[in-house]
Chain A
C-alpha cells in the first residue's frame, strides 16, 4: 500500500532536487547570487551571468541530473534482476566495456563525439557479450548471468590496466578522469532526456511486477509474472541506461549502488515509490556532488566520482547505523 509517508518522501525528494539544482547553478568560478539567477531566467537580456548559466552551468547541471537519474534507476533494476544487494549498474561489465572503448579513443587522440561513441560502442559490445555467454544454452539463471558479468568485468579490468600502463603520462591523466567519472566534458541532448523519461515511466509501469520478482522467481511465476520477458526487459533496459550514463560521464561510482539502498532503508521498498525516488535522488545527488567537484579545490576540478564516494560512503553508513538501532 502506498502510505502517506511515502508520498511525503517523494515530495521531499522533489524539493531536494530543486535545491540541488539551484545550488549547482549558483556555484562556480563566477559568483552568481539568487537574485541574479532569477533575473537571468526572467529577462531575455544577454549578460555575462546569463551566458555563464546558459552555456556552462545549465547544461552541466542537466547532464549531472540525467546521469545520476539513469544510474539510480539502473541500480534499482539490477538489484531486482540479480536479487543481490551488491548489484550495481556496473556489475555486469558494462562500464568495463565502455571504459575500454573510451580509453582506446583517448589513446588515439579522439575527443568529444568520437570518445562518446567509442564508449557507447564498448558498452553495447559488453552487453551482448555477457548476454550471449550467459544465454548460450537457452537458460540464463541469475547466478549464471552474475558470474558471466563478473568474469567479463574482470577481463575488461585487465585490458584497462594494459592501456593505462602502456600509455603516455598525458593520456593517463585523461584516462583516470574518465575512469573515476567526470562531467567537465559532458553534454546531454533531448535523446538523453527522453531515455530517462521512458525509463522512469516504464519502470513505474512494471513496478508491481518488480515487487513480486524481488521475492523470488518461483513465487513471481506463481503470482502470474511472466518472468522470461520481464527479465529480458530488465536486463536490456538497465544495460542501456548504464551504457548511456557512462557515455555521458564515465564510470561514476557509488550512485547506482548506494541510492537504491539508502531509499529502501528509509522505507521506500515498494517499487512504485522506489523507482521515481531513485531517479530523483540519484539525479540530485550527482548534481550536488558535481557542484562540489568543481568548487572544492577551485580553480582545479575533482573528478565527480571521487566526490560521490566521499559523500556517499559516510552518508550510507550513517543511514545504515540509524536503521539498525531502531
Chain B
C-alpha cells in the first residue's frame, strides 16, 4: 500500500518550471533519494509535500486523502520534515527543543504527557544527545544542532520522513549513523523516507529508489541501480560524472 501518491504534479516558481508531470508512488518501508543540481527544485518539492507550496497541477495524496483536505495538525502528525536551514539557536534547552517535535500529538493543554517525554528522551538517545539534555541550544556546535533537529523529527514519529540535506554539518561517522537510525526507524514503524541530498554516493547507499530532477522540469523516477547511471547523472548535473563499481557498491565522482 502506498503511503504517498504524487500524481501528475506540476510545480513552478514564477515562470520557472521545476517539475512537470511528476508521478511517484511511495510505499511503506521505502527510502527514496531526491537528487538534482542546485535550483532544480528539490526543496520546493519537499515543501509542496507539506502543503507549503501549492502545485499548479496534479495531486498529492497521503493514505488516499489529498493533503489539502487534511488539517495542519493531522498532516503534521503523519509527515515530518527536516529543513535545510536546520533549527535556530534560540534560547531554550535541548530537551525543551526536542519536545516541540511532539507538538502535533500532544493532547494536554498544560502538562507534558509521560509518553511524550519518553519518546523525546529516546529520540535524544538515538542521536547521542542524552548527555546534552539540559544544555542551552545556543551553546551547541553545528553538528550537534543538526542532530538535535533530527532528534526533533524522530520525536514527531511521522509516517513519512522528509529530509532536506540531512548530512549538512555532520561528520562521516554521524552521516552513516544518522542514516542507519532512520533506516531502522522506517523499517520498525513501516514508515517511508524521502531524502534530498547532493551526496550521490550516500543516496545510492541508503535509498533503493531515486527521483532525479533534470533541467526544464523533466525527471527520472525508478530504482537507484537503474536511475543512477553515468549518463543520467551527467545530464542532470551538466557535468561529466563517472563511476566505479565493486561488488554491490558503486562510487560516483566528477570526471
Interface of A toward B, CB cutoff 8 Å: 1-2, 204-205, 208-209, 211-212, 214-216, 218-219, 221-226, 264, 269-270, 272
B96 contacts A224, C-beta separation under 8 Å: no
A223 CB contacts on chain B under 8 angstroms: 76, 100-101, 103-104, 156
- Which of A204, A208, A221, A222 gathers most chain B CB within 10 Å? A222
B96 contacts A270, C-beta separation under 8 Å: yes
Q: From A2, A212, A221, A226, give the contact of B100 (CB < 8 A).
A: A212
The answer to whether B14 has its CB under 8 Å from any CB of chain A is no
Given contacts A205-B109, A226-B72, A270-B96, whether A215 and B90 have CB atoms under 8 Å apart is yes
Interchain CA distance A211-B81 in the complex, whole Å = 18
B50 contacts A204, C-beta separation under 8 Å: no
In the complex, chain B residues 90-130 whose Cβ is within 8 Å of any chain A Cβ: 90-92, 95-97, 99-101, 103-104, 106, 109-112, 117
B224 CB contacts on chain A under 8 angstroms: none
The answer to whether B16 has its CB under 8 Å from any CB of chain A is no
A269 contacts B96, C-beta separation under 8 Å: yes
Q: From A1, A205, A208, A214, give the contact of B90 (CB < 8 A).
A: A214
B112 contacts A225, C-beta separation under 8 Å: no
A224 CB contacts on chain B under 8 angstroms: 71-77, 103-104
B52 CB contacts on chain A under 8 angstroms: 218, 221
B110 contacts A204, C-beta separation under 8 Å: yes
Nearest CB to that of A216 among chain B residues? Answer: B88
Minimum distance in angstroms from B46 CB to a CB of chain A: 10
Minimum distance in angstroms from B123 CB to a CB of chain A: 14
The answer to whether B83 has its CB under 8 Å from any CB of chain A is yes
Q: Which 4 A-B pairs have the closest CB atoms?
A: A224-B76, A224-B104, A224-B73, A223-B103
Minimum distance in angstroms from A205 CB to a CB of chain B: 6
A270 CB contacts on chain B under 8 angstroms: 96
The answer to whether B87 has its CB under 8 Å from any CB of chain A is yes
A214 CB contacts on chain B under 8 angstroms: 90
Nearest CB to that of B149 among chain A residues? Answer: A219
Interchain CA distance A208-B107 in the complex, whole Å = 11
Minimum distance in angstroms from A293 CB to a CB of chain B: 33
Nearest CB to that of B91 among chain A residues? Answer: A269
Interchain CA distance A2-B108 in the complex, whole Å = 13
A222 contacts B100, C-beta separation under 8 Å: no
Q: From B75, B91, B96, B101, give the contact of A1 (CB < 8 A).
A: B96
Residue-wise, chain B 137-157 has the 8 Å CB interface mask toward A (1 for contact) of 000000000000000000010
The answer to whether B41 has its CB under 8 Å from any CB of chain A is no
B50 contacts A222, C-beta separation under 8 Å: yes
B87 CB contacts on chain A under 8 angstroms: 215-216, 219
Q: From A209, A216, A269, give the contact of B92 (CB < 8 A).
A: A269
A211 CB contacts on chain B under 8 angstroms: 96, 100
Given contacts A222-B80, A223-B156, A264-B91, whether A2 and B111 have CB atoms under 8 Å apart is yes
Interchain CA distance A114-B110 in the complex, whole Å = 42
In the complex, chain B residues 53-77 whose Cβ is within 8 Å of any chain A Cβ: 71-77
Nearest CB to that of B112 among chain A residues? Answer: A1
Interchain CA distance A209-B52 in the complex, whole Å = 18
Interchain CA distance A224-B74 in the complex, whole Å = 7
Minimum distance in angstroms from B14 CB to a CB of chain A: 15
B101 CB contacts on chain A under 8 angstroms: 223
Interchain CA distance A1-B120 in the complex, whole Å = 11
A225 contacts B103, C-beta separation under 8 Å: yes
A272 CB contacts on chain B under 8 angstroms: 110
Nearest CB to that of B134 among chain A residues? Answer: A3
Given contacts A2-B111, A208-B106, whether A221 and B50 have CB atoms under 8 Å apart is yes
A225 contacts B72, C-beta separation under 8 Å: yes
A216 CB contacts on chain B under 8 angstroms: 87-88
A208 contacts B103, C-beta separation under 8 Å: yes
A222 CB contacts on chain B under 8 angstroms: 50, 76, 80-81, 83
Nearest CB to that of A228 among chain B residues? Answer: B72
Interchain CA distance A205-B110 in the complex, whole Å = 8
| A222-B50, A224-B74, A225-B103 given; 6 more Cβ-contact pairs under 8 Å | A204-B110, A208-B106, A208-B109, A222-B83, A223-B104, A224-B103
Interchain CA distance A120-B75 in the complex, whole Å = 41
Nearest CB to that of A230 among chain B residues? Answer: B72
B95 CB contacts on chain A under 8 angstroms: 1
Nearest CB to that of B156 among chain A residues? Answer: A223
Interchain CA distance A269-B97 in the complex, whole Å = 11
A204 CB contacts on chain B under 8 angstroms: 109-110
B90 CB contacts on chain A under 8 angstroms: 214-215
B91 CB contacts on chain A under 8 angstroms: 264, 269
Interchain CA distance A269-B92 in the complex, whole Å = 7
In the complex, chain B residues 151-209 whose Cβ is within 8 Å of any chain A Cβ: 156
Minimum distance in angstroms from B73 CB to a CB of chain A: 4
